[in-house]
A and B are shown apart, each in its own frame.
Chain A
Amino acid sequence: MEKKNNFLMQYQKIKQSPMFGILVFLIVMILIRLLGNAGIMRQSTIDFISLVLIYSIAGLGFSLLLGYTGLASLGTAGFIGLGTYLISFAFANAGLPFVVALFLGFIVAIIMGTIVGFISLRIEGMYLAIITLGLSEIFIEIFKKAISITNGQNGLQVENFNFFGFLEASNALAYRNAIYFIILFVLVIMMVAFINIVNSPTGRAMLSIKNSTSAAQAMGISVLKYRLLAFVIATITAVVAGMLYMPYFEFTEPGIWNLGVSLNILAAVIVGGSKSIWGVTLGTFIIFGLRDIVLKQIPFFQENGNAVFFFTGALVILIVMYYPGGLVKLFDSLWKKGKVKLQNLRRGE
């Protein structure tokens, strides 16, 4: 009897931990892929979910930047694009293994993040966003012009990726699975890291910089250090997202990585809630899902693809006006209200 109670208590304790949610998420996502393998789920749905997972990786890094350090950036797409070309180059031209390519991406991201971080010390708010947008446009221009590596406007198709021995040519299904699970693995690691960071002195230091720079400095927090850190993390996640995008979709062109993607990631983080991993994932799902699942069924949006932005924009405005904490906050308060109502009902009986 006592043992059972003990077990129940353990279960309650585990349920409280944020890691429990991540574990459930992981299991659900693995199941989805297995359902896909069994032919119950359509491949296009799984492709869409993979895209959401990839953008969630970039979104998590971005939410550290926006939600915690209070810095806006519109350069995310450029960095994701950079990641796609980097891994293509590493595989196709240089023939490097995946881990080495990843390492290369880290180095490039750290350099880029540091540069933008230094800029952020001088310029803040809207102007910083414009600078990062400019940087992103520079990247796109480079993608267009460096034809020998990027194949320019025509886009780049690379199919001979090698993931720990998984090759598409030899076994397409195994390759697809391997990529999917690597994406999932990276996202889960990113989620755990995110939770650990925001609950640590680093996360608190970032929040204090967002709230009051002078108080942060008086408490011994170096603004330079944490802004650089935030930018470096955001850049690394964006580049890694790009490096995972390319092996999955196997095609990249400069036109994809325009302002639209950056804005969508910004919208996803705001709509979902920038201070929670579920907020970011949910926001990404809604913003990209809105386009790929719901609106593409309607003929008007099939003809005018860019009209989706109306919806995204309206959603962002509504959320910012009525639920600044994002949809996660909304669900949270609904959940709590429901609980209270349920308790009242029980008491009434």
Chain B
Amino acid sequence: MATLKEINQDIAKLKKQLSHLKLDVYALEATPNQKEAEKAQLQQTIKQLKSQLDDKLVEKTSLLGSDSSKLDDNVILRLENLTMKFGGLVAVDNLSFDVKKGEVFGLIGPNGAGKTTVFNCITQFYKATSGNVIYRNKDNDVVDLGKFKVHNVIKEGIVRTFQNVELIWELSILENLLIAGHTLYHANFFDHVLKTRRYRKEEKAVRARAMKVLSDVGLTPYMHAYPLGLPYGTLKLVELARTLMTEPKLIILDEPAAGLNDQETAKLTETIRKIQKDYDCTIFLVEHDMGLVMKLCDTICAISFGKQLAIGTPAEIKQNKAVQEAYLGGE
């Protein structure tokens, strides 16, 4: 019987192998209609490794016991009594809900309801005062996000955008996407300084990946442009494109439609739908534009002053008395 340490080592090794192979796939995808056989073989190897990884994870859970049973199979993210206090102010108050795999989940609420704070707690920008954030990661392993450092959350397959566009203004759009692919690189600092072959190969693969993402969201013409001076809608789209670089399982969008006109919003709705389908991920968003939320979301959770008001389908939320009261005021 293998010990937990050995299993963890094996898992880390397999993950590393897998991520190397993924880079090879990206590099190959850049040259379509060529090397089909090679591609198929790569996919085959990846599949094998993945099943090996699954076995290891099963072994791990059997050793640890309870961890995986915390989450139902179809749930990707669960908040358990999440509370966040800033001094005396309770921004998020005992919030619990599940986000299911593959859905578009909307979090709504009046200004200052604590929506962004919830996001920050999930992505570990804030450490929650109490409560848990349980998440089913890329490899189908159940983890407690509270134990992760903020810059390691992306490695588990969670990427977020920001309420105000947070792009790197001194870099071109393409380079902004390369930043988002930072975790795809294995080369270390010395590889960078010496420009070793290993690093150049990786750089090529990540660039190919960035080009693919750019063409997917229709940003190829802006590739070499700098963000400064581009229309706001385009910048929002760049932020969205940035999340796709690492093939995330959960994309967290903080007010994706803020500052967009009706036309742009309609286009964004389509893009989000397309992304969710093509990239096979779950989308969790905060939005004030009710039109977009009602059209896009499968499940909506309404909060006010950090407390949950209601959770359900868009139709149910529309009918809910408490939600109406919070938005329109009581009688």
Chain A residues packing against B (C-beta within 8 Å): 193, 196-197, 200-205, 207-208, 210-212, 214-223, 229, 275
Contacts and interface: CB of A to CB of B under 8 A. Distances in A.
A220 B151 contact: yes
A197 B194 CA distance: 9
Given A201-B182, A208-B168, A212-B166, A217 B193 contact: no
Contacts of B151: 216-217, 220-223
Nearest to B161: A218
Given A205-B179, A208-B179, A218 B192 contact: no
Contact of A211 (B162, B169, B180, B183): B169
Given A197-B192, A200-B199, A202-B189, A214 B179 contact: no
B193 A197 contact: yes
Interface of B: 123, 125, 149-155, 159-160, 162, 166-171, 175, 178-180, 182-183, 185, 187, 189, 192-195, 199, 203, 242, 246
B191 to A, nearest CB: 8
Chain A: interface secondary structure?
helix
12 contacts: A200-B199, A201-B182, A207-B168, A210-B170, A211-B168, A212-B167, A212-B168, A215-B162, A215-B167, A220-B182, A220-B183, A222-B149
A220 B193 contact: no
Contacts of A220: 151-155, 182-183, 246
A201 B171 contact: no
Contacts of A210: 170
B125 A221 contact: no
B115 to A, nearest CB: 16
Main SS class of interface, B: helix
A219 B179 CA distance: 7
B197 to A, nearest CB: 14
Contacts of B192: 196-197, 200-203
Contacts of B195: 196, 200
Contacts of B194: 196
Given A197-B192, A218-B160, 10 more contacts: A200-B195, A204-B178, A205-B182, A207-B168, A207-B170, A207-B171, A215-B162, A218-B153, A220-B153, A229-B189
A219 B182 contact: yes
A212 B179 CA distance: 12
A219 B166 CA distance: 11
B247 to A, nearest CB: 13
Contact of B170 (A200, A211, A223, A229): A211
Contact of A201 (B123, B150, B169, B178): B178
Contacts of B171: 204, 207-208, 211
A54 to B, nearest CB: 21
Contacts of A204: 168, 171, 175, 178-179, 182
Contact of B123 (A216, A218, A222): A218
B193 A214 contact: no
Nearest to A222: B151
Nearest to B245: A219
A219 B170 contact: no
A219 B193 contact: no
A219 B189 contact: no
A306 to B, nearest CB: 35
Contacts of A218: 123, 125, 150, 153-154, 159-160, 162, 166
